[in-house]
Amino acid sequence: MPELPEVETIVRQLQNGHRDAPTLAGMAVSDVTLHWPRHIAAPSPAGFRRRLRGRTIEAVSRRGKYLVFRLDQGFLLIHLKMSGDLLVQRSAEPRDRAERTVLRLAGGWELRFNDTRKFGKVYLLDDPGPILSALGPEPLDRCFTPTVLRERLGARRRILKPLLMDQTFLAGLGNIYADEALHRARLHPRRMSHSLTPAEGSALWRGIRASLRSGLRHNGASIDWVFRGGGFQNHFRVYGRSGKPCRTCGTPIERIVLGQRSTHFCPSCQPEAPR
């Protein structure tokens, strides 16, 4: 699933333009094609098409893993889920078999939402607050301090790795960046959140932000057909490196399953029992 760096990379491309594609800011939606109406979470597919026609995209931003399109009236939210991708292409360009939702724009351009597994969701709302306010803090925001993280960790009694992936606890982290952050912080993924010392909480804060910033520098990770053009996969410390030597100490990376998700860690750098 695309995480904060991958979604932010897409947002920047849509907002600023990318290669031969123009910026979406200022473009009007002339029509909507729904090849998979179940993409539309709100309103009804018919209402979605009717209300979106003629609207102008004023800006594109991100909250957690949601892409937020501010319109001249209302907001369009897109969650890419497991396999979603957004492309700005000419209407004459060949179409992908996974194309599900298409917004026709000015000048012969289209915004195409491709989604092989069909899990993505699209919302057209007057107020996105009820959805976005349920998310936890943004980990790269100035207001997200070590103290904030330590207090949130101490208020919960949960296994650390699944907690970091809980979007109501912290917005934007998923499997990749949780593994990478925990390795930087030298914390075992099975540690209980309330057991961290103040120093460990601060180390985790630094690890989260360093991992996300590294991902952003490399335009996210490209590990399958979902996300294109990123290079962070070439710099993973632990994720997907089971059996390979730890880049810090040389110990083979181990893999376990937590919360039904693959989890990678170094047993030497990240001992389960605090030293």
CATH 3.20.190.10 domain span(s) along the chain: 4-132
pLDDT at 118: 93
Q: Strand, helix or coil at 32?
A: strand
43 preceded by cis ω (within 30°)? yes
CA distances from 210 to 159, 180, 213, 214, 237 (A): 22, 9, 5, 6, 12
CATH architecture of 146-265: Orthogonal Bundle (1.10)
Query: What pLDDT does residue 227 have?
Result: 57
* Contact (CB, 8 A) for 156 and 126: no
* Of 147, 140, 122, the residue nearest 41 (C-alpha): 122
How many other C-beta atoms are found inside a 10 Å radius of the C-beta of residue 106? 12
Helix (H) or strand (E) holding 229: none
pLDDT band at 82, cuts 50/70/90?
confident
Percent of the chain with pLDDT over 70: 97
Residues with active-site annotation: 2-3, 65, 261
DSSP conformation class of 193: G
User: What is the C-alpha radius of gyration for the chain, rounded to an integer number of angstroms?
Assistant: 20
pLDDT tens readout for residues 146-164:
999 999 999 999 999 999 9
Asked if residue 128 has a cis previous peptide bond (ω within 30° of 0), the answer is no
Mean pLDDT of 118-122: 95
Name, in order, each residue with C-beta under 8 angstroms of 72's C-beta and a sequence gap of 6 or more: 55, 56, 58
Provide the pLDDT for residue 275. 57
Q: Which CATH class is domain 4-132?
A: alpha beta
What are the residue ranges of CATH 1.10.8.50 in the chain? Answer: 146-265
Give me the pLDDT at residue 20, please. Answer: 82
pLDDT reading at 182 higher than 70:
yes
Give per-residue pLDDT as tens, 206-259.
999 999 999 999 888 886 655 567 778 888 999 999 999 999 999 999 999 998
Gap between the Cα atoms of 12 and 96, Å rounded: 23
Give this prediction's pTM: 0.94
Question: Would you call 130 helix, strand, or coil by DSSP?
Answer: helix
For 270, the token pair is 């990240």
